[in-house]
Structure 1
Amino acid sequence: MARMLLTHGTVVTMDAERRIIPDGAVLIEAGRIVRADRASAFDPNALGDVKVVDCSGKLILPGFIDAHAHAGHTMNRALGWDTRSFWMAYMEKIYHHHTTPGYWYAEGRLAALERLKAGITLGVSVLTNAQRADDPRIAVENSRGYGAVGNRQIVAVGPSNPPYPRGFHQYREGRWESVSLTFDEIMTKTEEAIELVNGTFDGRIQAFIAPFVLVGSVEPSGPTPADRAVKLTDLDRKMMRAVREIASRQKTRIHTEAFGGMIRLAKQSDDALLGPDVHLQHCKGISFDEALILAETGTHVTTTPAWGQYVTRCPVPELLGLGVNVAATTDGVAPGIPYDLIQAVRNLAMIQQGALNDFYYLPPGKMLSMITIDAARAVGREHDLGSIEPGKLADLITVDMRQPHLAPTHLPVHTLMLYGNAADVADVMVEGRWVMRGRQVLTVDEAEVLRDAAEESSAAIRRAGLEKLLKPSDTFWDYRNHVFEPRLP
C-alpha cells in the first residue's frame, strides 16, 4: 500500500496533548499513521511514492466510535413510536419470530451504511433489542453486511433475560421452525456465534459476549429500588460465571446494560461483570455507592441521551470526577434515534448541564473525546484507535467546514460539536483505505442497499402481523397522543 499524505486540513489529533494543528497534515503508510504535523513539515517530493490529498477547508479527525446500539433497529424506524409502552414487545415479536438470515444481512448493510456516512468507523451492535443468541447465523449475516460496507463492527451477543427455556422461530430451508432453548443451550450458541465472527474480514469484525442486562432478576429497563434489589438469584450467579468463562476462553471483552441497583447486586458475585474488560451501557439511576464501585473496579460506562435521563440520569460529571471512563453512544436507531454521535453527545451534555444547573460541564472538547478516544478505551481499542498518533490504525474522517452552518470557523472543535451533524462528514477512511469520498460510498451500491432493506423490513412486518403500526395514530397531529386503538397489542 502506497503512502498517503492528507494535507492542508485542520488536524484534531485527540492525542494526550489534544493537539489541534492548523494547516496540518497526516502521513499514512501500510494502513497506519506515521506522523501528524504542520503541512510545511512535509516535503512530498522527499516522500517518494506518495499520494497527496488536499484537505483544505476540512477537519481531519479520528473516526467516531459508537460503543452501543442494536442490530435490527434500522429496519424499524419510528415503528411503534405512537405506543412506546409496547415497543419492546413489538420489536421482540419481529426479531425473535419473523426474521430470516437475509433480513439480518440487509440490516447489517443498512446500519453499516448509515454509520459510515455519520463518520462512525467502529460500532457495537447488540443483537436485537432483547438479545438473540439461539441462531448463530444472525451474527454471521449481520457482520457480513458490515464487512461488505467496510467499517468496523463489534457484534455483542449473549443470553436473553429469564425465564428459560426461551422460544424462538428460525427460518431454515424454506420453512419456519419453532425452537426452545435452555440457558445452557443459549450459552453454547453464544460461544459458537463468537467463534464464527470474531476476527473476520481482516480483523474488522470483533465479537463481545453481552448478556441483555447485568442482573436479569430485577427491573430490566430502569432502576430497581434498594428494597427490591437485595440478593442475586442462582441464575444471576450462573449467568455471570458462564459469561466470564466464555470471555476467558474466547479472549474477548464483556458488554451489557445496567441500571440503578444492578451494580450493587453484581458486586455480590465472585464473577461480577465489572472491571476494565467491561463496559456498561446506560447506568441510569445508579446510587453514589454504585458510582464508587464503578470507579474502584475500573469499569467503563457508556450512556445515551433520552427523555428518561431527565428523571433518572446517568451521573456523567460525577462519574468523571471519580475517575470513571465515560463515553457517549447513540443506542440507535429505533424508535427515534439516528446514528449521529455529534447530536448524541451534544444532547447528553445539555441534559447533564440542565440537571446540575451548570452549563460549564462537558465542554465541546470533552464532548469530542467521549466519541473518539474515550469510546476507544471503553471497547479496549485505545492502543490502535481513537486518536491520530504514530502507529495507530488510519481510521480517519474529514468534516467539510465550508458550509453556512459551520462558517466562519474561528474555533473548529467548538463549531463542530455545537453546530455540526452527521451529514457534515465528507470522507471516511478505514485502515488507510477510502470507503467514502465526498459523501459517495465506494464499497456498495447505496440504492441497492436501501431497496433490499425496505423489502426485507416490509416482509418481516407483514409476517409479524404488525401492519397496524404503519399508520400514524388518530391524534398524531394533536398536541398529545391520546387515541391508540387499534395499535395496541
Structure 2
Amino acid sequence: MTDLLLRHGTVITMDAQRRVIADGAIAVRDGKILAVGPTAEVEAAHPGAQQVIEARGKAILPGLIDGHAHAGHGLVKTMGNNDSEAWSEACRIIYTLASPPSFWRAEAQLAAYERLRFGVTTGVSLLGGGDSIGRVDHPAFTDAHATATEEIGIRSVLVLGPTRPPFPRPYVGPDGVERPVSFEQQLETITAGVETWHGKGNVRVATLMPVYREAKHDPAKVKEIERQGRLVREAGTRRGAWFHQDGHRQGSIEMADRMFGLIGPDSWHSHCTDLTDADIDTLVRKGASVVHNPSAIAAVRGYCPAPRMMEAGVTVMIGSDATAPDRSGDMFRHMFQCIRYHQRAFRDETMIPPGKALEMVTVDAAKGMGIADTLGSLEPGKLADVITVDLTGPHMVPANMPVARVVYFANGHDVRDVVVGGRVLLQDGVAPHLDPAAIVEAARRESEQMLDRSGLRHMVQEDPGWGRVRR
C-alpha cells in the first residue's frame, strides 16, 4: 500500500540525470520515496494511495536545504538600523545575558515555521551568534531549541561550539543568575547536546570552533586553541557528528588546517570571502565544503569566490545566514541573490545558471553536509522530503522552462505543500498541526521581554534614512 501520492506535477527530480518530468508523480511509503516517474506509470504500479496531493499546475521538488543560519536571530531582526557593529554587540548581550530558555524556544518555533512555509525541509542553526557568542553554558538552551524545532517537524542541524577566549565568560543561566562559564563547562554542554540530540528524531548536531584570524601568533594561545579544537572535534566525531565553522576569510582556511587540524571531509565552512590560493588548495586537498551566504553583510565586505571553488571541485552550497538583521529564510531569494552577485562580479550574465543555483540548495547542500545518501533529490530509496511550488501565479506565467521559472521568479510564498519523511506538514499553504498565531504571539512576547531585560529598547527606534543616499 502506498502511503502518499503526489501526482500530475512537473517533477524536477535533481537526480543524477537531472530529469524534469512534465506530468510526473511520486509515490511514498514508510517515509521514503517508492517511485518517481510519469503519473500514469507511477499510479499504475502503486494504486490505492492513502493520501493524494494533486500537483497539477505545480512543480514538485526536493525539500530545500539552508546550509548556514543562526538560532536566536529571528527575534533580533532590524535592531540598530543597519549599524552592524552595534547589532553584533546587541547579540552578544542578548544571547549571553538576556535570553532564558523560553526565548530560544519561541525563536526556534518562529524560525522553523518560516522555513516550513518557504519549503526549507532541512536547516542549519548555530545556537547563537556564530563564532563568538554561542549559547552553550547550559543544556536547557539546547533542549529548548531542539524540542521546539521537532514540534514544527522539519529537519534541523543544530551547531554547538564554544565562545572565543578569554575564559571564563559571563552568562545568565536558566535560573536567572549570572555566572562565569569556563571552556570546560561549555565543552560539557556541547558534549551533552551531541549525545542527547544527534540522530534523535529529525535533529542532527554538528560541532563548531571559532575561526582564528590573528596576523600575529601567540604560541601559548595557539596551543590552547589547538587543544580546545581537538576536544570539540572529538566530542562530535565520537557520535558521527560533522564539523562547521562560521566566518572564514582571507587566509583563515589555510591557518585552520595548518595550525589546528580542523579542516576535513566532514566539515563545511561559511562565508569564505577573499580566500587565498592556499585557502582554496586546502579545501580541495582536504575535501571540505563551503556554504556561500550571498545575502549576508560579509558578502558585501568581501567577495566569496564560489565559481572558482566549484570549478576546482569544492562543493559549495547556499545559506541564508538567518533572518537578521535584514534577510529572510526564503531560499528562492538567496538563490537569485547568488546569481546576481556573481554576474555582477564577473560582469557576465552567463554566470551561475538557474540549474546550478538549484543544485546549491538541494543535491550540493546534501553532499556538503554529508546527507546526500538520504536527501537532496527525488529518487527511490531516499527520504520523502518533497515540496510543491505553484506555477500558476501571474509572475510564473507563461508555462515554460520550469527550472528557470522556479529559480528566477518564485518566492517562498509560492510553496504550497511540504512533506518531510512522508509526513505532510503543509498542504495548500496550511500547517494543520500548528497554531501560527500562537507561534507569532510567543515570539512577540519574548522579544519584548528581551528588550526590557537587555536595556536595548533604544535599538528598535527606527531611522529609515529618509532623504539620504547613505546612512
Where on the TM-score scale, by shorter chain, does this alignment land: which range?
Answer: over 0.9
| Counterpart for residue 244 of structure 1 | 233
Q: Give, in whole Å, the separation in 2 of the partners of 1:45 and 1:192.
A: 46
Q: Give, in whole Å, the separation in 1 of the partners of 2:42 and 2:443.
A: 45
Q: Give, in whole Å, the separation in 2 of the partners of 1:100 and 1:307.
A: 28
> 2:137 aligned with 1:146, yes or no?
no
Which of 263, 266, 270 is matched with 2:256 structurally? 266
Q: Give, in whole Å, the separation in 2 of the partners of 1:104 and 1:162.
A: 24
Q: Give, in whole Å, the separation in 1 of the partners of 2:399 and 2:208.
A: 41
Q: Give, in whole Å, the separation in 1 of the partners of 2:82 and 2:365.
A: 32
* 8 A Cα contact 1:99 1:460, kept in partner: yes
| Counterpart for residue 280 of structure 1 | 269
Displacement of 1:62: 0.3
Which of 307, 322, 329 is matched with 1:332 structurally? 322
* 8 A Cα contact 2:35 2:42, kept in partner: no
Q: How do 1:90-489 residues align onto structure 2 when only pairs under 5 Å count?
A: 90-129=90-129, 130-172=133-175, 176-200=176-200, 203-211=201-209, 213-215=210-212, 218=214, 228=216, 233-257=222-246, 258-269=248-259, 272-305=261-294, 306-473=296-463, 476-480=465-469, 482=471
CA 1:230–1:313: 2 relative to 1, 3 Å: farther
SS of residue in 2 equivalent to 1:242: helix
SS of residue in 2 equivalent to 1:24: strand
Displacement of 1:252: 0.8
One-letter amino acid matched to 1:133: V
TM-score using structure 2 length: 0.95
Displacement of 1:196: 2.2
Q: Which moved more, 1:434-443 or 1:238-247?
A: 238-247
Displacement of 1:18: 0.5
TM-score using structure 1 length: 0.91
Q: Give, in whole Å, the separation in 2 of the partners of 1:455 and 1:183.
A: 32
Q: Give, in whole Å, the separation in 2 of the partners of 1:168 and 1:407.
A: 53
Displacement of 1:333: 0.9
One-letter amino acid matched to 1:397: I
One-letter amino acid matched to 1:362: I
| Counterpart for residue 33 of structure 1 | 33
* 8 A Cα contact 1:156 1:255, kept in partner: yes
One-letter amino acid matched to 1:234: K
Displacement of 1:307: 4.8
Q: Give, in whole Å, the separation in 2 of the partners of 1:230 and 1:411.
A: 56
SS of residue in 1 equivalent to 2:173: strand
- 1:412-437 Cα deviation digits (max 9, x unpaired): 01011111111111110011111001
Q: Give, in whole Å, the separation in 1 of the partners of 2:314 and 2:173.
A: 41
CA 1:292–1:396: 2 relative to 1, 3 Å: same
| Counterpart for residue 24 of structure 1 | 24
Displacement of 1:468: 0.6
Q: Give, in whole Å, the separation in 1 of the partners of 2:301 and 2:185.
A: 38
Displacement of 1:308: 4.1
One-letter amino acid matched to 1:55: A
Displacement of 1:239: 2.2
| Counterpart for residue 487 of structure 1 | none
Q: Give, in whole Å, the separation in 1 of the partners of 2:344 and 2:381.
A: 40
Displacement of 1:132: 1.9
CA 1:414–1:229: 2 relative to 1, 3 Å: farther
| Structure 2 spans left out of the alignment, 5+ residues | none
> 2:3 aligned with 1:3, yes or no?
yes
Q: Give, in whole Å, the separation in 1 of the partners of 2:217 and 2:363.
A: 34
Q: Give, in whole Å, the separation in 1 of the partners of 2:218 and 2:273.
A: 18
Q: Give, in whole Å, the separation in 1 of the partners of 2:24 and 2:71.
A: 37
Displacement of 1:143: 1.0
Q: Give, in whole Å, the separation in 1 of the partners of 2:304 and 2:278.
A: 14
* 8 A Cα contact 2:27 2:46, kept in partner: no
Q: Give, in whole Å, the separation in 2 of the partners of 1:444 and 1:307.
A: 33
Q: Which moved more, 1:296-305 or 1:246-255?
A: 246-255
* 8 A Cα contact 1:81 1:336, kept in partner: no
Q: Give, in whole Å, the separation in 2 of the partners of 1:372 and 1:3.
A: 24
* 8 A Cα contact 1:155 1:207, kept in partner: yes
CA 1:349–1:43: 2 relative to 1, 3 Å: closer
Aligned residues: 465
| Counterpart for residue 72 of structure 1 | 72
RMSD over aligned Cα, in angstroms? 1.8
Q: Give, in whole Å, the separation in 2 of the partners of 1:49 and 1:120.
A: 25
Q: Give, in whole Å, the separation in 2 of the partners of 1:315 and 1:197.
A: 34
Q: Give, in whole Å, the separation in 2 of the partners of 1:343 and 1:391.
A: 30
Displacement of 1:460: 0.7
